[in-house]
Structure 1
Amino acid sequence: MKMTIEVDCTPEEARRFMGLPDVSSLNDHLVKEMQSKISANMSLLSADDFVKSWMAFGAGAQEQFRKLMDASLKAAS
């Protein structure tokens, strides 16, 4: 015998029925924290800062970057 039960309720109603805790305030706090971290690190995405960070590693990093670009050009052609 096969039986199917369909329950029509909102996620909030299901959470309460199952006795699960309400973590929406914790979720809101984590989202705000992540947004502030992303906003603080947006400067790292600028090309200027990216190149400066590569230059800090010296000639070895520059040579690796040049090889990467050469390989990309060869693969594209």
Structure 2
Amino acid sequence: MPHKFVVQCYEAHHLKGKAAVGDVVYLKSRPDLPMHVVFADPHCNRTAGHKATVKVRYLGPDMQPITAEFKAEELSL
């Protein structure tokens, strides 16, 4: 029986206060591209409707590091 991988949303991880620099995350639409967290916004005003943002770094197709910013709900562990 093959192992079933469970995709955990990074936003739930962020809400629990377990988000940290160096976490390996994946974009839900691109699970083949590993990205490393370089900054996880610890203060997010959820009562005002704001979403947590996470800055990540990954290697592009030309092997140059790319820094991007995503919402935590778009990422998974």
Larger helix proportion of the pair: 1
TM (normalized to structure 1)? 0.19
Q: Which has the higher contact order (CA 8 A, sep 6+)?
A: 2
Q: Which has the larger radius of gyration?
A: 1
TM (normalized to structure 2)? 0.19
